[in-house]
Structure 1
Amino acid sequence: MKMRLLGLDLFLIAALSLLEGARCLKMGRLSVPPYKIRGEGAELVCDYELEDDALYSVKWYKDDEEFFRFVPKSDPPKSSYKIEGVKVDHTLSDDKRVALRSLTLQSSGTYRCEVSAEAPSFASAQKEAHMEVVYLPKDGPHITGEKRQYHRGDEISLNCTSGKSYPASVLHWYINDHQVRDRDELVQYPELVHHYGLVTSALGLRFKVEDHQFQGGSIRVRCVASVFPGFWVRDKERVVERVDQLKDHVREALLLVRAASSCHGASLFVVSAMLSLAVSAGT
């Protein structure tokens, strides 16, 4: 019985020692930008507290593949490994931060920071978060299908096509600044996927010309293309951060439909096409 009690005491002492050691390493803030624009750089920050422990290593992974490590006792202490979409700037990287440059769509993924302590605790802790790289459209949207003239009761049939982007642009039609929500007036087209995963969106609009739609002799028809990354919740701690530096990217095409008189007394509508762009984020 005494031997059994002694063994239990030793087990408890060892367990408490491990717990004490584990408390020496505390993970703090993990900062991984949820969204970045292709071509930009990104700074990943892994904050931690060692207290009485000594640092053994800090390792960074993308989708479970190691791409950077910092080991104080190594010479040199910094080393990186080639992974598609990951380019480490060693001059701006250290034990608590990693600087990435020239981001591509392949840079999207889950990034994990793993911190390990020296003996005697050998404590280890890690955190991860997701980063998505966005490709903003360089042009568009484009309105096609307009005719030069419309009679009362004629159907206006238009198509709006976005520029290439990732993720896909979301298209909306507006008539006189009122968003078209009637599904009978909207024509959904499948997305067109290009090389490197870029996507083109298309949305049709079909409606009949009516007198009440004219305001000051014209109908304003707009197509708005927006890239709305939204919030990607891919953190095990369920931490969602709002990104202020990535604003919605909005472009719009405007079509003016003007009324004109007919020599036979019937109303005739002359279409004058106009293209305008409104961009709320730099490309």
Structure 2
Amino acid sequence: MTVLLVFGLFVVIATAHNITYLEVPQYGDPRRDGDLICHYVSEKGDPPLHSVKWYRDNNEIFRFTPGQQPPTRTFNTTAGSVSRGACNLNSCSISVVLPRRYNTRISFTCEVSTEGPRFAVVNQTKYLTVAVTLKEDPVITGASGNVQLGEDVLLNCSTKPAMPPANIVWYVDGRPEKTEPWMSDNTEVSSADDFGLRSSWRPLRVRVATARGFIAVRCEANQPTRPPYMRSSNATLVVARSPHLSMYTASGSSSADVAMVLATCICVHIFSKYSALSEV
């Protein structure tokens, strides 16, 4: 990388390494260290690598200087500490201890400089949000079997423990669904576990008012992080065409059982009609 330095009427060309990629996770779980990696390369004619520095917000927390002994040095600050570091002439990786303050947003900067006399410097910055994001999609319960036209179906959507806790939104056939008056207008949240994590759940009552064969429901669990994190699940409620038939299909009866029920109904109907004619 070429850098132009202007001093009065003199233009000095200084070259620096290129940072090819900075690996900083978007979310970091405070129960474990965050792993960061800075990748860099030198171009033909670049001076040797002088140092690689890591900054947490505006505080230097780690330095790699290949020309010194020892080549690495950590700086413990009030912003946090580095638990591990391993660097070479092409990459520098560190592990940082994350705070237990959920939804905290931290900037990490990798700064690479080359040897003098110009000491050209390049840097890149990325952000990490302290959060325990959902590792699984939310679970929808109460949606098994067929449903009847005019029936009220009670569903529930729940999540595993996370932090910050998720807000749950229901969609019915693609439209946000309002809760019934007897239900809570907000997502229910459990008490915190030993790590401060909380589960979320939200019920929904669906009135089956369509005869098109099915109702599509969707549950979205949104964590209010920066940026927001979302996972979702879908389910389908099958609307039975025949109320009597659906009683057997929903209960798991076999096709032979259903056929026998239909045959019995037909025989009873014919016998009743014959008896009525005989009495005339």
Q: Provide the TM-score with structure 1 as the length reference.
A: 0.55
- The answer as to whether partners of 2:85 and 2:94 remain within 8 angstroms in 1 is yes
What is aligned with 1:202?
201
CA distance in 1: counterparts of 2:188 and 2:126, whole angstroms:
29
What is aligned with 1:44?
37
What is the identity, as a one-letter code, of the residue corresponding to 1:127?
Answer: Q
Structure 1 residue 43, shift from structure 2 partner:
4.8
What is aligned with 2:62?
68
Structure 1 residue 128, shift from structure 2 partner:
1.0
What is the identity, as a one-letter code, of the residue corresponding to 1:141?
Answer: P
Unmatched segments (≥5 aa) in structure 1: 1-11, 233-247, 273-283
CA distance in 2: counterparts of 1:155 and 1:165, whole angstroms:
31
Structure 1 residue 54, shift from structure 2 partner:
4.2
Structure 1 residue 192, shift from structure 2 partner:
3.6
CA distance in 2: counterparts of 1:13 and 1:149, whole angstroms:
76
What is aligned with 2:176?
181
Structure 1 residue 160, shift from structure 2 partner:
1.6
Find the residue that maps to 2:12 and give its secondary structure.
helix
Find the residue that maps to 1:125 and give its secondary structure.
strand
- The answer as to whether partners of 2:15 and 2:47 remain within 8 angstroms in 1 is yes
Which of 7, 24, 37 is matched with 2:15 structurally?
A: 24
CA distance in 1: counterparts of 2:20 and 2:27, whole angstroms:
19
Structure 1 residue 114, shift from structure 2 partner:
1.8
Question: Are residue 116 (structure 1) and residue 110 (structure 2) matched?
Answer: no
The two structures, once aligned, show a CA RMSD in angstroms of: 5.0
CA distance in 1: counterparts of 2:83 and 2:125, whole angstroms:
19
What is aligned with 2:268?
none
CA distance in 2: counterparts of 1:149 and 1:250, whole angstroms:
22
CA distance in 2: counterparts of 1:132 and 1:75, whole angstroms:
34
CA distance in 2: counterparts of 1:255 and 1:105, whole angstroms:
44
Find the residue that maps to 2:15 and give its secondary structure.
coil
What is the identity, as a one-letter code, of the residue corresponding to 2:205?
Answer: R
User: CA deviation digits over 1:42-62, x for unaligned, max 9?
Assistant: 452242548454433210112
What is the identity, as a one-letter code, of the residue corresponding to 1:114?
Answer: E
- The answer as to whether partners of 1:86 and 1:103 remain within 8 angstroms in 2 is yes
What is aligned with 2:83?
87
Find the residue that maps to 1:69 and give its secondary structure.
strand
What is aligned with 1:159?
156
Residue 85 to residue 209, structure 1, CA distance change in 2 (3 Å): farther
Structure 1 residue 119, shift from structure 2 partner:
3.5
Aligned residues: 232
What is the identity, as a one-letter code, of the residue corresponding to 1:261?
Answer: H
Structure 1 residue 165, shift from structure 2 partner:
2.8
Unmatched segments (≥5 aa) in structure 2: 252-280
Identity score, percent: 24
Residue 16 to residue 190, structure 1, CA distance change in 2 (3 Å): farther
Structure 1 residue 33, shift from structure 2 partner:
4.0
CA distance in 1: counterparts of 2:202 and 2:62, whole angstroms:
44
Find the residue that maps to 1:20 and give its secondary structure.
strand
What is the identity, as a one-letter code, of the residue corresponding to 1:207?
Answer: V
- In the TM superposition, 1:1-283 aligns within 5 A as 14-15=7-8, 19-21=11-13, 23-25=14-16, 27-35=18-26, 38=29, 42-47=35-40, 49=42, 51=45, 53-82=47-76, 84=80, 86-90=82-86, 93-100=87-94, 109-132=106-129, 135-137=132-134, 141-143=138-140, 153-166=150-163, 169=166, 171=168, 173=170, 178-183=173-178, 188-190=185-187, 192=189, 194=192, 198=197, 200-210=199-209, 212=211, 215=213, 222-225=217-220, 260-261=243-244
- The answer as to whether partners of 2:169 and 2:219 remain within 8 angstroms in 1 is yes
